[in-house]
Amino acid sequence: MNKKFKNESGVSLIELLVGVAVTALMMGAMFATYNVVNSSYRQVLDKASISSSSRDIVGMMVRDIRLAGFQYYYGQNEEGIAPFDDLRYVTGLTNVEEIEDSHDPIIVVRNELGYVPKDNLSGSTQTSARHNSNHVCCDKIHIVYGDFKKNDQQKYKKYKITYFALPMEYDSDTSEKNKYYGIYKTKESWLQNTEFPLGVWTSDVSKCNECYRDQLVRSHVVDMEFLLFDQDGVDLFNTSGSNTYPQPDNASRFDLNKIRQVDIALSFRSGRDFYRSAPSTGNKRFIKTLRKDRNDDDRGYEDKYLRESVVVSVYTRNIGAQ
Question: Residue 64 pLDDT > 70, yes or no?
Answer: yes
The pLDDT value given to residue 312:
92
| Residue 196 DSSP SS3 | coil
Most confident of 171-180, 254-263, 293-302: 254-263
Q: Give the pLDDT mean for 183-201.
A: 84
Higher pLDDT: 298 or 37? It is: 37
Assess if residue 277 is contained within a domain. no
For the stretch 168-178, pLDDT in tens is 875 555 555 66
How many distinct structural domains can be found in the chain?
Answer: 1
Dihedral through CA 68, CA 205, CA 98, CA 96, nearest 10? 60
Domain of residue 125: give its range. 67-225+233-253
Those residues whose C-beta lies under 8 Å from the C-beta of residue 304, and which sit 6 or more positions away, are: 273, 274, 275, 276, 277, 278
Assess if residue 298 is contained within a domain. no
Q: How far apart are alpha carbons 266 and 315 in whole angstroms?
A: 17
Assess if residue 296 is contained within a domain. no
DSSP state of 94: B
Among candidates 163, 165, 154, which has minimal Cα distance to 126?
Answer: 165
For the stretch 137-184, pLDDT in tens is 889 999 999 888 777 777 778 899 999 999 887 555 555 566 788 999
Percent with pLDDT over 70 in the chain? 74
Average pLDDT over the chain reads: 78
Higher pLDDT: 177 or 196? It is: 196
Most confident of 95-109, 123-137, 158-172, 253-267: 253-267
The pLDDT value given to residue 93:
40
H or E element: which one contains 165?
strand 156-169
Q: Give the pLDDT mean for 63-69.
A: 93
Confidence band for 88, pLDDT divided at 50, 70 and 90: very low
Assess if residue 5 is contained within a domain. no
Percent with pLDDT over 90 in the chain? 22
Question: Residue 18 pLDDT > 90, yes or no?
Answer: no
Assess if residue 214 is contained within a domain. yes
Assess if residue 248 is contained within a domain. yes
pTM of the model: 0.78
Among candidates 79, 98, 73, which has minimal Cα distance to 196?
Answer: 79
